[in-house]
Structure 1
Amino acid sequence: MERMWTNWYLASEGVENDAVVQSAQAAEQLINPDYDHTRQLSDQNLAGVRELNGLLVSYNQLGVAQAATLTQEQLVNAENLLAGAAGEWLVDQAVKSVAAAVFHNVILPCKYDRNRPVGDNQIDNLVITSTGIYCIEVKVRKIVGKLFDFNRLGRGIYDQISYHKEALTQVLQPMGISPNFIKTIVVVINRLGNDDFKLKNQEDLQRAGSQVVKLSVLNLFLSNDGFALLNQQQIQAIEQAIQSQRLPDRRTYPANVRFKLTQAHLDKARQISQAVRLGIPLAQNVTYHGRLNDYPLTGLTGKQQNMLWLIVGRLYGFGCGMLQLTRSELRTGAGYGGRDFLRLDQQLSELAEFMQQSKLFQKAKYEDKKLTVSVSKKYSFLFNGC
């Protein structure tokens, strides 16, 4: 069990934000096929992974095995990234009917001042229409009480919108595009899924030249924002300039993880759930299809039969993957108390030969104090079904 669950997620400094979002989406969709962008936006957007992680925490408390588990910081970080990505996707969907071009998650080079090297600036959504070029900063928050106070965002929001405009100005300056054509919008999205809230303390942002809107009125705002400033030829040139200057997204957070869940993990989780309910470690919990009871074990000693059922228990939920058990694991798990290891190796070799000759196993081989076994695809349901 420890081996299987060691790598159900990958944690390292090199995991980028996009990898977190994409792998978390895949994990939740594997657990819940109905998972969509609405669920991704909600405050329960990582419910499946949280439930699974809690199950592993409970199993670890039995004291037999230690599966890798996520910290609260890692879970919250993934939840926030998922919600942010869902909000940006919703903005894309809202504006595409009125926009000439829509960019998502745009990173542009930016020279912040003469004393610093060229850095980069990330814009959530970049929209081009005939009335201007819009840098959209998306703020996804859980809004309780029907009121969103912009003071919650702190002073950093002013730097964000000014840097967005500065980065885009530097990209478009060689084309002679006036900075006056570049506009900034802050869009507030409620993670609780409704727009039934009011905005407070947004006046300073508006005085700084940025519009502040809710998602439900963004499309209408863009449709009615002044007169045409850009013709089709200019729009195409702006689009090409942005695309040519765009940088790859390399953003990371220390708590980033990439999820690597598979169906085999979820199948195994059912057995772990049973072990937690009964308070019985997996080493003592053999789960399999009832038809395996009809399989003849003629020729096997009692100890070999114990080892066989131990192997069957380990194969539950493992699919047709290659399982490897050490002599020590088989000896301990099957309750073999003898110290005659030559005799034990002989019995394990005989057991592997018995398994190889049966139709149930694709491979069964014992060498170098390790037994390697995989289930025949035709009969995998006997080991993976309860």
Structure 2
Amino acid sequence: MQLTAFTKDIKNINSIDFLNREHADKVLAFHKSFPMYKETPLVELKEMAALLGIKNFFVKDESYRFGLNAFKVLGGSFAIGSYIAKKLGMDISELSFEKMISPEIKGKLGSITFVTATDGNHGRGVAWTARQLGQKAVVYMPKGSSKERFENIKAEGADVTITDLNYDDAVRLANSHADEYGWVMVQDTSWKGYQDIPKWIIQGYGTMALEAYKQLPEKPTHIFIQAGVGALAGAVTGFFANVCKGKEKPIVTIVEPDTAACIFDTAKADDGRLHFVGGSMNTMMAGLACGEPCDIGWKVLAGYADFAIACADNVSAKGMRALGAPLAGDKRIISGESGAAPSGAVMELLMKPEYAQLCGRIGLNQNSVVLCFSTEGATDKKNYQSIVWDGKEASCTE
């Protein structure tokens, strides 16, 4: 694993007011209006914490989210709701699920097609939301996408295609078709002229952060959060920086695959530019195989994240196995390849002597209270079994 620190330019820190508690409460209220809403569990791993030599270890388990096995629907649904609210000249607080599916609102909206690119979880969330609202969804997936994730999206009624492109090029394809056909692009990647929907998606993820904050019996000293484009990482970092001011703010470490470490590379370069990773970005962490940072998420991370880690696939595999076969007394968590990366990184840091210096830099010690987010369950069961049952991507821990 490689570690780099974020160098903060205090004079140029961007506002994170859009991720404050007031906005998070509004987002949570929107999600609570869905009849299938249920708070996902925060799991306390006391025995793992004792083994690692820290005070406590918490993992937010998103495999229970809306029956979709991943957190992504939070962002897609809130963005779609916010888009509809803006189109109707309403505030999102006025637009509950019941109102969105009412004949009155549907009559005003007409037919809308939402389009997105995804490795699986985000596209499923967009397709699910569109189906719930009686609208259409078109989904493009990158080359090599899981057949199971494809079928899950198709089951939500979407027009879904696995392309021969990498993730970032699939995003460009979706956007070009949105422009050509008058569809609505729903993507957490942002660029000049495309800011509102990514911002709403980032805010949507605030439900997960707020739930965790309310569930925690004590404030975390450290948060490890995974990054693809950095939207989720920005959402969690921004929320906790708002509710935990000054010295109470947890130390935030971003975790990425070393083959798709665009946040790590941007932080390490520290030259004011976003750094892209191209090519196939081969990693089993499909949800994190993104080469181009979201500029909205990056602006939050640049001011409030502390460290970034680039890690190999076997780090995530270690997390998957340890969470799936826990120590006696700890609750089992089924965590997918992208979901287990932060937990795996924490375990590697604290269990391998060669990382003692990195632990010192991050401040991990016997007083640390660590929070991780398992953002997905086994969304590709065949691959999950090959890792957890058959030892694919062995961690090689002595």
TM-score (norm 2): 0.26
Which structure's relative contact order is higher, taking Cα pairs within 8 Å and 6+ residues apart?
Answer: 2
Higher Rg: 1
In terms of fraction of residues, the more strand-rich structure is 1
